[in-house]
Amino acid sequence: MSLDLQSLPKVLLHEHLDGGLRPQTVIELARNAGYTGLPTNDPKELAAWFHRGANRGSLPLYLEGFKHTIAVMQTRAALERVAFEFIEDMHQDGVVYAEVRFAPCFHRERGLTDEAIVGGIIDGLRRGEEKYGVRWGVIICAMRDRTDSLEAAELAIDFRTRGVVGFDLAGEEAGYPPKKHVEAFAAIQRANFYSTLHAGEAFGVASIWQALQMCGAHRLGHATQLVDDMTIVDGKIVKLGPLAQYILDLMPFGNARWVRQR
Ligand SMILES: [Zn+2]
Protein backbone atom coordinates (compact mmCIF):
# COMPACT_ATOMS: atom_id res chain seq x y z
CA MET A 1 0.00 0.00 0.00
CA SER A 2 1.40 3.35 -0.90
CA LEU A 3 0.89 6.27 1.40
CA ASP A 4 0.39 9.70 -0.04
CA LEU A 5 2.22 11.78 2.55
CA GLN A 6 1.47 15.03 0.79
CA SER A 7 -2.28 14.66 1.10
CA LEU A 8 -2.26 13.48 4.74
CA PRO A 9 -3.33 16.28 7.10
CA LYS A 10 -0.33 17.55 9.08
CA VAL A 11 0.50 19.99 11.87
CA LEU A 12 3.70 22.05 11.78
CA LEU A 13 4.84 23.53 15.07
CA HIS A 14 8.38 24.73 14.35
CA GLU A 15 8.91 26.95 11.34
CA HIS A 16 10.79 30.23 10.96
CA LEU A 17 9.09 32.69 8.61
CA ASP A 18 12.42 34.14 7.45
CA GLY A 19 13.78 30.64 6.80
CA GLY A 20 11.18 29.47 4.29
CA LEU A 21 10.93 32.12 1.57
CA ARG A 22 10.64 31.00 -2.03
CA PRO A 23 13.85 31.87 -3.91
CA GLN A 24 11.82 33.64 -6.59
CA THR A 25 10.18 35.79 -3.91
CA VAL A 26 13.56 36.68 -2.38
CA ILE A 27 14.76 37.83 -5.81
CA GLU A 28 11.63 39.89 -6.53
CA LEU A 29 11.58 41.52 -3.11
CA ALA A 30 15.31 42.31 -3.41
CA ARG A 31 14.64 44.02 -6.72
CA ASN A 32 11.78 46.05 -5.19
CA ALA A 33 13.90 47.04 -2.20
CA GLY A 34 17.03 47.86 -4.22
CA TYR A 35 18.95 45.19 -2.27
CA THR A 36 22.00 44.10 -4.26
CA GLY A 37 23.60 41.68 -1.76
CA LEU A 38 22.16 38.39 -3.08
CA PRO A 39 24.77 35.84 -4.21
CA THR A 40 22.80 35.30 -7.46
CA ASN A 41 19.61 36.45 -9.17
CA ASP A 42 18.79 33.04 -10.60
CA PRO A 43 16.07 31.25 -8.55
CA LYS A 44 17.56 27.76 -9.01
CA GLU A 45 21.06 28.88 -8.11
CA LEU A 46 19.75 30.79 -5.12
CA ALA A 47 17.86 27.72 -3.88
CA ALA A 48 21.06 25.67 -4.21
CA TRP A 49 23.01 28.36 -2.34
CA PHE A 50 20.56 28.27 0.59
CA HIS A 51 20.64 24.47 0.73
CA ARG A 52 24.42 24.40 0.74
CA GLY A 53 24.44 26.93 3.58
CA ALA A 54 22.01 24.84 5.61
CA ASN A 55 24.18 21.74 5.33
CA ARG A 56 27.44 23.10 6.67
CA GLY A 57 27.01 21.52 10.10
CA SER A 58 27.45 24.74 12.05
CA LEU A 59 24.67 26.82 13.56
CA PRO A 60 26.44 30.19 13.12
CA LEU A 61 27.25 29.38 9.46
CA TYR A 62 23.70 28.21 8.86
CA LEU A 63 22.33 31.45 10.30
CA GLU A 64 24.30 33.45 7.68
CA GLY A 65 21.66 32.72 5.06
CA PHE A 66 19.12 34.69 7.05
CA LYS A 67 20.83 37.99 6.36
CA HIS A 68 19.50 37.92 2.79
CA THR A 69 15.94 36.94 3.63
CA ILE A 70 15.81 39.51 6.42
CA ALA A 71 17.20 42.21 4.12
CA VAL A 72 14.19 41.85 1.83
CA MET A 73 11.59 41.68 4.64
CA GLN A 74 11.65 45.35 5.61
CA THR A 75 8.27 46.64 4.41
CA ARG A 76 4.78 45.79 5.57
CA ALA A 77 3.87 44.67 2.03
CA ALA A 78 6.88 42.34 1.82
CA LEU A 79 6.04 40.77 5.19
CA GLU A 80 2.40 40.36 4.22
CA ARG A 81 3.40 38.64 0.97
CA VAL A 82 5.86 36.28 2.66
CA ALA A 83 3.25 35.33 5.27
CA PHE A 84 0.56 34.72 2.63
CA GLU A 85 2.92 32.57 0.56
CA PHE A 86 3.85 30.66 3.71
CA ILE A 87 0.21 29.59 4.13
CA GLU A 88 -0.01 28.79 0.40
CA ASP A 89 3.05 26.55 0.72
CA MET A 90 1.61 24.90 3.83
CA HIS A 91 -1.59 24.15 1.94
CA GLN A 92 0.37 22.58 -0.89
CA ASP A 93 2.18 20.37 1.62
CA GLY A 94 -1.06 19.22 3.24
CA VAL A 95 -0.50 21.14 6.48
CA VAL A 96 -3.78 22.02 8.21
CA TYR A 97 -2.37 23.94 11.18
CA ALA A 98 0.97 25.77 11.22
CA GLU A 99 2.75 27.81 13.84
CA VAL A 100 5.24 30.25 12.38
CA ARG A 101 7.83 32.24 14.28
CA PHE A 102 9.93 35.32 13.63
CA ALA A 103 11.91 37.96 15.52
CA PRO A 104 10.37 41.44 15.12
CA CYS A 105 13.74 43.07 15.95
CA PHE A 106 15.07 41.98 12.54
CA HIS A 107 12.44 43.89 10.60
CA ARG A 108 13.02 47.39 11.94
CA GLU A 109 16.00 48.26 9.68
CA ARG A 110 13.90 50.64 7.59
CA GLY A 111 11.81 52.05 10.40
CA LEU A 112 8.83 49.68 10.52
CA THR A 113 6.88 49.79 13.77
CA ASP A 114 6.08 46.61 15.68
CA GLU A 115 2.42 47.13 14.78
CA ALA A 116 3.35 47.15 11.07
CA ILE A 117 5.64 44.13 11.42
CA VAL A 118 3.40 41.84 13.45
CA GLY A 119 0.21 43.28 11.95
CA GLY A 120 1.50 42.85 8.38
CA ILE A 121 2.44 39.23 8.98
CA ILE A 122 -0.89 38.49 10.65
CA ASP A 123 -2.73 40.09 7.69
CA GLY A 124 -0.87 37.81 5.27
CA LEU A 125 -1.57 34.71 7.36
CA ARG A 126 -5.24 35.65 7.64
CA ARG A 127 -5.54 36.21 3.89
CA GLY A 128 -3.93 32.82 3.35
CA GLU A 129 -6.32 31.17 5.79
CA GLU A 130 -9.33 32.72 4.04
CA LYS A 131 -8.17 31.34 0.70
CA TYR A 132 -6.85 27.92 1.74
CA GLY A 133 -8.41 27.13 5.13
CA VAL A 134 -5.04 26.52 6.80
CA ARG A 135 -5.18 27.57 10.45
CA TRP A 136 -2.16 29.20 12.03
CA GLY A 137 -0.57 30.67 15.16
CA VAL A 138 2.30 33.13 15.51
CA ILE A 139 5.27 32.77 17.86
CA ILE A 140 7.28 35.91 18.59
CA CYS A 141 11.02 35.28 18.97
CA ALA A 142 13.53 37.15 21.06
CA MET A 143 17.18 36.77 20.03
CA ARG A 144 19.47 35.38 22.70
CA ASP A 145 22.43 37.63 21.83
CA ARG A 146 20.34 40.77 22.39
CA THR A 147 19.21 42.50 25.55
CA ASP A 148 15.61 43.28 24.57
CA SER A 149 13.98 39.89 25.21
CA LEU A 150 11.60 41.36 27.80
CA GLU A 151 10.34 43.83 25.19
CA ALA A 152 9.77 40.97 22.74
CA ALA A 153 7.90 38.99 25.41
CA GLU A 154 5.65 41.97 26.11
CA LEU A 155 5.00 42.35 22.39
CA ALA A 156 3.96 38.68 22.18
CA ILE A 157 1.55 39.19 25.09
CA ASP A 158 0.15 42.37 23.51
CA PHE A 159 -0.76 40.46 20.35
CA ARG A 160 -2.20 37.35 21.99
CA THR A 161 -5.76 38.27 21.03
CA ARG A 162 -4.74 38.74 17.38
CA GLY A 163 -3.14 35.37 16.74
CA VAL A 164 0.13 35.25 18.67
CA VAL A 165 0.17 31.95 20.58
CA GLY A 166 3.57 32.00 22.26
CA PHE A 167 7.05 33.38 22.84
CA ASP A 168 10.42 31.88 21.90
CA LEU A 169 14.13 32.47 22.37
CA ALA A 170 16.20 31.84 19.25
CA GLY A 171 19.61 32.45 17.67
CA GLU A 172 23.20 31.47 18.34
CA GLU A 173 23.18 29.34 21.49
CA ALA A 174 26.78 28.98 22.67
CA GLY A 175 27.64 31.84 25.00
CA TYR A 176 24.04 33.01 25.34
CA PRO A 177 22.37 30.78 27.94
CA PRO A 178 18.61 30.92 28.61
CA LYS A 179 19.25 32.11 32.18
CA LYS A 180 20.19 35.55 30.82
CA HIS A 181 16.56 35.96 29.75
CA VAL A 182 14.66 34.92 32.88
CA GLU A 183 12.94 38.31 33.12
CA ALA A 184 11.30 37.83 29.75
CA PHE A 185 10.07 34.36 30.68
CA ALA A 186 8.83 35.59 34.05
CA ALA A 187 6.69 38.15 32.20
CA ILE A 188 5.27 35.33 30.06
CA GLN A 189 4.45 33.29 33.17
CA ARG A 190 2.85 36.26 34.94
CA ALA A 191 0.58 36.72 31.93
CA ASN A 192 -0.42 33.01 31.94
CA PHE A 193 1.05 32.85 28.45
CA TYR A 194 3.09 30.20 26.65
CA SER A 195 6.74 29.79 25.78
CA THR A 196 9.02 27.58 23.78
CA LEU A 197 12.79 27.80 23.83
CA HIS A 198 15.55 26.73 21.45
CA ALA A 199 17.84 24.76 23.73
CA GLY A 200 20.26 21.86 23.51
CA GLU A 201 21.00 22.26 19.83
CA ALA A 202 24.42 23.91 19.77
CA PHE A 203 24.91 23.81 23.53
CA GLY A 204 24.45 21.05 26.07
CA VAL A 205 22.21 19.67 28.79
CA ALA A 206 22.69 22.77 30.98
CA SER A 207 20.91 24.86 28.37
CA ILE A 208 17.94 22.47 28.32
CA TRP A 209 17.79 22.43 32.13
CA GLN A 210 17.81 26.25 32.26
CA ALA A 211 15.08 26.43 29.62
CA LEU A 212 12.78 24.23 31.67
CA GLN A 213 13.64 24.96 35.26
CA MET A 214 14.75 28.61 35.18
CA CYS A 215 12.60 29.88 32.32
CA GLY A 216 9.56 27.58 32.61
CA ALA A 217 9.47 26.75 28.90
CA HIS A 218 6.42 24.73 27.87
CA ARG A 219 8.19 23.37 24.82
CA LEU A 220 11.79 22.86 23.72
CA GLY A 221 13.20 23.50 20.26
CA HIS A 222 15.56 20.74 19.13
CA ALA A 223 17.02 19.62 22.51
CA THR A 224 19.03 17.02 20.63
CA GLN A 225 21.87 17.18 23.16
CA LEU A 226 19.57 15.69 25.77
CA VAL A 227 21.19 12.48 24.55
CA ASP A 228 24.08 13.40 26.89
CA ASP A 229 21.71 12.76 29.82
CA MET A 230 21.06 9.18 28.71
CA THR A 231 23.06 5.99 28.88
CA ILE A 232 23.08 4.40 25.47
CA VAL A 233 24.48 0.93 24.79
CA ASP A 234 24.58 -0.55 21.29
CA GLY A 235 22.24 2.15 20.03
CA LYS A 236 19.63 1.47 22.74
CA ILE A 237 18.71 3.76 25.62
CA VAL A 238 19.28 1.74 28.79
CA LYS A 239 19.00 4.50 31.39
CA LEU A 240 17.70 8.05 31.55
CA GLY A 241 19.35 10.77 33.59
CA PRO A 242 17.17 12.93 35.85
CA LEU A 243 16.51 15.65 33.26
CA ALA A 244 15.69 13.23 30.46
CA GLN A 245 13.32 11.36 32.79
CA TYR A 246 11.66 14.63 33.84
CA ILE A 247 11.09 15.60 30.22
CA LEU A 248 9.71 12.18 29.37
CA ASP A 249 7.28 12.47 32.30
CA LEU A 250 6.06 16.00 31.66
CA MET A 251 6.57 17.24 28.14
CA PRO A 252 3.80 15.38 26.28
CA PHE A 253 1.23 17.34 28.24
CA GLY A 254 2.73 20.64 27.20
CA ASN A 255 2.09 20.21 23.51
CA ALA A 256 -0.89 20.72 21.24
CA ARG A 257 -2.71 23.05 23.60
CA TRP A 258 -1.92 26.32 21.93
CA VAL A 259 -4.34 26.09 19.05
CA ARG A 260 -5.80 29.53 18.81
CA GLN A 261 -9.21 29.97 20.40
CA ARG A 262 -11.85 31.30 18.01
ZN1 LIG B 1 14.03 27.01 15.22
pLDDT, residue 250, reads 79
The percentage of the chain sitting over the pLDDT mark of 90, rounded to a whole number, equals 81
pLDDT tens digits, 167-198: 999 988 888 999 999 999 999 999 999 999 99
What's this model's pTM, rounded to 2 decimal places? 0.91
Which domains are present in the chain? 10-21+73-254 (3.20.20.140)
Q: Could you confirm whether 201 is annotated as catalytic?
A: yes
Give distance in angstroms: CA of 14 to centre of ligand 1: 6
pLDDT, residue 90, reads 98
Question: Contact, 87 vs 135, CB < 8 A?
Answer: no
pLDDT, residue 2, reads 67
Which of the following is catalytic: 28, 88, 151, 201?
A: 201
3-state helix/strand/coil string of 41-70: CCHHHHHHHHHHHHCCCCHHHHHCCHHHHH
Give distance in angstroms: CA of 59 to centre of ligand 1: 11
Question: In this structure, is the dihedral angle defined by the CA atoms of residues 91, 168, 214 and 157, taken in order, positive or negative?
Answer: negative
Question: Which residue positions in the chain have pLDDT lower than 50?
Answer: 254-262
Question: Contact, 56 vs 105, CB < 8 A?
Answer: no
pLDDT, residue 162, reads 97
